[in-house]
Structure formats: structure tokens, C-alpha cells
Chain A
């Protein structure tokens, strides 16, 4: 008898939980939502998040706060997300690092595949292969020819080991079959400073950072890293069409929650964020920054995340980059 009673009790609790879940999803959100950005304020991820959170606040009738928890390539912020309650009140928007970290670090304090739920792909952005105006090569073909003639003499800057603009370069090296020396910097500003000063001749960087200098004639663009030409600068050819077929390296920004978040909440957040990303105003703001808003379904994004993780794992393995 005792067994049956506890079974009934368990059943009742389960039913109640389900009901509560449903009611919860309908009334969600009843308190402010926090979006963790695992990078310092002022960067690209932070700006995208702030643009979105502002609209979400208007649409949901609850404050959506941005919480900057920078450090360790986003690992510190991700760890905070993973440890928070999966109730939809703690979310995170982060960059490509998230998909690269598992292959770069010997160990992470969480399991990227298991401890997070993929909510939606927020935006993608190509990088531009930038060169100092004094650099002899004007196209990717010329660059490849130059690198082959003088192997190991070219340098390319990046904002740090394992970032998307470092690995864009490593992937380019291996696919084009050339050798260039990687020069990592502490963030984008000092790297851009050395590129503008001609101390280093090449760098992959975002359109937002590169285009103003290209337009001012201080830098030249050799190519973009996306598979198709980018809308913000359609005159710049892609690397894929310039002799490295199949090359594609995107920076992307996506939203996650802690694993075990109720399905209803996942759907609700996904719908709300997608709605914001399709607003003409947001589309324009993102486009101005050289990014393309996406807002796909959790399933689509989960599949994309998986493919990106596999792609970068191979690049990381090939170039031997390692962080610990």
C-alpha cells in the first residue's frame, strides 16, 4: 500500500509541476530578466545585447538587464549562467568563443554541449581581411603568391589567441597552404593601432572596426571571410571567390540559457527575441555594425552550434593553439 501511495503522490506532484510549468510560461516574466554578457561593457557582444534588451524590456513589460561578467574568454560568465536556476530569468548572449573554448582549453568548468540550452542565433558577422595601405598585395591571390614566395615572413595580428579573428587567419593559412606568423595582442585596440601604424601588415577584424579606416583610406580590404559578399560592403570580394574555395569563417553571437529550462520558456524567449531581431530598427542598427540578425529556432541554432564546434575544433587542432 505504501508503495502505491507514494506513486500516486509522485504522479500528483508531476501533474502539478506540469501545470505549474504551463501557468509559469503564460505569466513569464513576472520579475526582471538578467542577460549575462561574459565580456566587458562596450564591446560588440555588449552592444548587440543592449540593443536587444532595450526592445525586450519594452515588449515584455519587465526590466531586461545586461550583466557584464567578463573574464577568461567568456568562461567566467558562462559558469555563472550554468550555475543559475533554469527558470528563464538568467540568460546569456555570447560570441563565437563559446564554440571554440571547448577545443582550446584543456578543461572547462562546464560541458558546452550538456550544461546549456541553445536559444537562438542572434547575429552573424564576417571578418574583413585588412592590410596596411603600404602592403604590396592588393588581392588574396597576390597575398597567397607573396606568402609562397617568401614563406614565414608575413605577420598577421589578432585580438588574442583563440578568438575568431585569430582562427579565421589560421583557417586561411591551412586552406591556402601558406605560412604566416600570428601576432596576438591584448584586445582589438592595440592590434588596430599597430595595423594602422604599419607595424604589422595584416589582420582579420570586424566590419564595424575596419570599414571606417577603409573609407578613410588608412587601410585596405583584401577580402571578407563570409561565403557570400556582405551587404554593408558589397564591393569587397570573398576569400572563397578569390582562390580559396569553400572558405567561410563567421563571427557570431547567440543566446543561451541554463540546461533543463522548461520547453515552454525556451519557446517563449525564442519567439520574443526573434521578434525583436526582425524589427526594422534593429535590423538597421545591426547592419550598420556589419552584422546580420538571425533569430532562428532553438533546433536550427543547436544544429549550427554543433557544426561550428566541429569546424573550429579542426582548425584549433591543425594550428596547435592551446590555452590552459
Chain B
């Protein structure tokens, strides 16, 4: 078997002491920046690039890759403990992870997140090894019309994310869409909602919105109520999920892995979308969807597996084609180029030690991460006993550093503060931020692709129905819309009759 020979060859590269050390360094650093809110892999890798000059290219790339997927593990920690997404991709984990923590189940939530991530990481490593080149072709099937239909499906699904009023959820999605439109329009070059500020011409950053709406807002919210938190810290148990937890989680983990693997390959926000998608699927499939948002372990297990799977498979377009599907991968391209490796389809054949070494190192890295993270859970949980007056200023400080580090722009920090206030207002109005965030991600991509598809077809809208993948997704979107709306209408009628 070629694949085994290749994997053994890869392990030979990944397990040399030097590469092992850098893999460990990478994943530890990744976990750390994942835990620290706002400080993400993009800024960290950009800062570390000059240091990697002195390293052999493989060691450097193994370390940088470790930072990226390590951050996916760490990112869930603060989401679960303090409702603050450490990484963009763990926004969804806040919904049920934090609810679990409030019930004193922070340990199992963190445990299942680590187990799910490890499972997803192991499966996708194997996927990468076996099917990287054919999987890369999947992305080519997606043109503008397919993306538009995929985004429509996602947008309908966004409404499902909310567990309160449907009207409020739709309003939040729309607000998210509008926020997503800020900046220069790709197709025409016209600036929208920028008020003449060049800082806004590239749009509002995702981290700015996520940190503001979740992180800052959460801090403001907690300033109102003092002393409530002791209740749930006193009931923290070990990290081991119960037998019932595992039984409830294994299917979401499998589905999350599948969803993440597929979405990770597509350019543009794979890992982020995958966690949202997985959450939506789990909520749809659940016997009792009302549990979601109240601490359903499926809502942690699925998305956490999905975001790690997405993070790993986003290496496929990078390693097989040299196309970076997201900002982190773009930096990896930069790192490869600086080390004299031209990313592209030949890397696999010309530098097999790099290709297979990186794949093997990912599995090694995932193993290191799970070994590293499970014992750490006890320490993280103890974070909850840190008094508010120390914890929250620290969180705010890290958020500010993190937001600043993305573009080295203080404007972004001020903007995050504004979103913090908006997030607080939304909370007061019982409007949930998750649908807004999804609208914010999907809206601009949807518009861009809609208009690009229409330019391609020279104004003929039938392209969306004539291309099979696109049609399939539109049908799914419409069905989902009916499934969501019909019960709501039914309820309205019942209420009307009651009166």
C-alpha cells in the first residue's frame, strides 16, 4: 500500500526530535492564543514569521500549522467558561458551552470539546492522506451560483440558531447583513456606509464584531449582576463526560466531522461556517430542540468537531494547489515562499517530505493537543474562581490587544467597544447575537456571488436553477424555510384562537 508507505515516511519526518519539538511548541502556543480572547492565529503567525527564517522549512511549517489547529482546541475554552469566543470559529460554542458551565458542567463541556476535536482531527488527517487531490477538485465544482445557493441555505439556517422569537432572529440576521455590507463593494468599487473613513473601506472585521457582541457585551452584562457566579463554580466536577454525555455526543461528533471536512475545503471562512452549520444540523435533528441554548452537549460536541475538521481540511487546497482558502493559509503560503518553496500542485511530488511530514505532524499534533488539553481543563475551570474585578479587566485587556494585533489599527479597538454596547443593547432587548454574526459572514459573500453569477450569465437568473449543485441547495433552503415558518404560523393561529 502506497498510502501506508507514505504515512510511515511522513511519520519519519514528523517524529524527528527537532520537528517533534516544533510541533509541540506550535500546538502549545496555539492552545495559549486560542484561550486568550481576540489574539488569533493570523496575528500570531504573522509575528512569528521572521523567527522562522532561521529554521528548516519543514520545522517552521509544522510549527505554524500547529498554531493554527491548536488555536481551534484552545478557542473553545473561554467560550465555555466565560461566554467569550477565543477564536472566531468558536462563537457557536458559546451558546451551549456557556450554558453548560452555568449549570456546573464546564468540565464535561471542555472534555467533549477536546475529544470531539481529537476525533475530527484524526479522521481528517486520514482524509488528507487518502483523498487530498480528489477533494481539492470539489472546490472547483463551486462557482458563483453554487456559492450563492450555499449562502442562501446558510442564511435560512441562521434563523434556526435563535431559540427565541422568530421575528427578532430575522431582524438580527438582517442587521448582520447590513453590517456585512460596510466597505467597498467588490463588484463596482463603490463605498457603502463608510462615512468617508478609509478604515472602514475594507469592511468591518469579523473578530471586531464577535469580540464586541460576545466578549465586551458579556463583561458589561456581568457588571450589572454581582455574586451570581459563585453558584456555578461550586458545582464543578471533573472533566470526564458521563456515559449519557458520550451517548448523546458521538453522532454529533461524526456529523460535525463530516460537515467540517467538506466546508473546510471551500475558500472563504470554512472553519467558521462549519461550526455554525453543524450547530444548525444538530438543532434540527434533535428530538427536543428547545434544549439547545440551555446547555445541550450536542451543541458543543458537533461544532467543536466541525471547526477542527474544517481547520484541517483547509490545508487541502493549500498543499495540493497552493491556493489559500483563508487568511491563515495565505500566511502559510507566505511562509512557504519565504523558505523558497513555491506553493502549487507540484509540492506533493517535488517535496514529498514536506507534504507527508506535515500530514503526519497534524496527527501527532492532535495527539499532543488532547494530552495537553485534558489535564489543563482542571486549571481552566479554576479560572472561574478568579474574582470578577480581576478577571474582567484582564479579559478586556486581552481583547483589546487581540483586536489591535489583527490590523495594527487602534480604530478597530474603538469599533469593538461600539459593538460591545450594541451587544449589550441586544441582550437587553432579548435579541441574540449569533444570527447577527452569521448574517454578517454570509451576507457579503452572498451578494458578491449573486452579482458575479449574474455577470457571468449576463443577467439571466436561470443559472441558479440550471446548475445541479446550486439547484439542490436552493431546494434545501426553501424546504428548511417552510419547516421553520409553518410551525410558527401554526402557533400564531392557535394563539389567535385562544384570544
| A is bound by B | yes
B314 to chain A, nearest CB (A): 11
Q: Is B407 within 8 A of A197, CB to CB?
A: no
Please tell me if the beta carbons of A288 and B340 are within 8 angstroms of each other in the complex: yes
Contact: B455 with A322, CB < 8 Å? no
Question: Is there a chain B Cβ closer than 8 Å to A179's Cβ?
Answer: no
Which of A185, A193, A209, A212 has most chain B Cβ within 10 Å?
A193
Q: Are B344 and A181 in contact (CB under 8 A)?
A: no
Which A residues are in CB contact (< 8 Å) with B46? Answer: 40-42, 68
- B201 and A72 form a contact (CB under 8 A): yes
Complex: chain A residue closest to B197, CB-CB: A72
Q: Is B57 an interface residue (CB 8 A)?
A: no
Contact among B49, B139, B143, B188 for A50, CB-based, below 8 A: B49
Given contacts A40-B327, A193-B267, A216-B344, whether A72 and B202 have CB atoms under 8 Å apart is yes
Contact A76 to B331, CB < 8 A, known contacts A184-B186, A215-B346: no
| A288-B336 Cα distance, complex, nearest whole Å | 13
Stretch of A18-26, A155-163, A233-241, A270-278 with 4 or more beta carbons under 8 angstroms from chain B: A155-163
Whether B107 is near chain A, meaning CB under 8 Å from some CB there, is no
Residue-wise, chain A 225-252 has the 8 Å CB interface mask toward B (1 for contact) of: 0000000000000000000000000000
Task: Give Cα A246 to B265, complex, Å.
Answer: 42
Interface of A is mostly: mixed
A61 at the interface (CB under 8 A from B): no
Residues of A within 8 A of B49 (CB): 41, 50
Task: Assess whether A213 is in contact with B345, with CB atoms less than 8 Å apart.
Answer: yes
Q: Please, how many angstroms separate the alpha-carbon atoms of A212 and B190 in the complex? A: 34
Pair A109/B198 contact, Cβ less than 8 Å = yes
Which residues of A51-80 have CB atoms within 8 Å of chain B's CB atoms? 51, 54, 66-72, 75-76, 79
Whether a CB of chain B sits under 8 angstroms from the CB of A198 is yes
- Complex Cα distance, B317 from A196, in Å, reads 12
Determine whether the beta carbon of A47 is less than 8 Å from that of B337.
Answer: yes
Q: State which of B140, B330, B337, B345 has its C-beta within 8 Å of the C-beta of A289.
A: B337
Q: How many A-B residue pairs have CB under 8 A?
A: 138
User: In the complex, what's the smallest C-beta–C-beta distance from A26 to chain B, in angstroms?
Assistant: 28
**What is the CB-to-nearest-CB distance from A251 to chain B, in angstroms, rounded to a whole number?**
16
Do B456 and A196 touch (CB < 8 A)? Answer: no
> Is A199 among interface residues, defined by CB-CB distance under 8 A?
yes
Q: Considering the chains assembled together, what is the distance between the CA atoms of A289 and B336 in angstroms?
A: 12
Q: Across the interface, which residues of A come within 8 angstroms of B337, CB to CB?
A: 47, 208, 289
CA distance A257 to B53 in the complex (A): 26
Give chain B interface residues in 264-293, CB to chain A under 8 Å. 267-268
Contact A212 B267 (CB under 8 A): no
A323–B323 contact, CB under 8 A? no
Q: In the complex the two chains form, is A42's CB within 8 Å of B198's CB?
A: no
Q: Is the CB of A212 within 8 A of B199?
A: no
Q: Which residues of A contact B455 (CB under 8 A)?
A: 155, 181, 183
In the complex, the answer to whether B346 meets A212 with C-beta atoms within 8 Å is: yes
Which residue on chain A has the smallest CB distance to residue B53?
Answer: A54
Closest A residue to B144 by beta carbon equals A199
Q: Is B342 an interface residue (CB 8 A)?
A: yes
- A285 to B53 CA separation, bound complex (whole angstroms): 14
**Set A76, A185, A289, A322: member contacting B198, Cβ < 8 A:** A76
Contact (Cβ within 8 A) B409 A71 = yes
B407 to A323, Cβ gap below 8 A? no
Interface residue A192 (Cβ < 8 Å from any Cβ of B): yes
Nearest B residue to A46, CB-CB? B334
A-B contact pairs, 18 of them (CB 8 A): A41-B45, A70-B407, A71-B199, A75-B198, A76-B409, A162-B189, A184-B189, A189-B323, A190-B267, A194-B143, A196-B321, A208-B337, A212-B322, A212-B346, A213-B344, A215-B344, A215-B346, A324-B191
Given contact pairs A72-B184, A183-B456, A197-B141, enumerate 20 new A-B contacts (beta carbons under 8 Å).
A42-B46, A42-B332, A50-B49, A54-B50, A71-B407, A72-B199, A72-B202, A155-B456, A160-B186, A161-B188, A184-B187, A190-B268, A193-B267, A194-B143, A197-B142, A199-B144, A216-B345, A288-B342, A323-B189, A323-B191
4 residue pairs, one from A and one from B, having the closest CB atoms: A212-B344, A42-B334, A197-B140, A216-B345
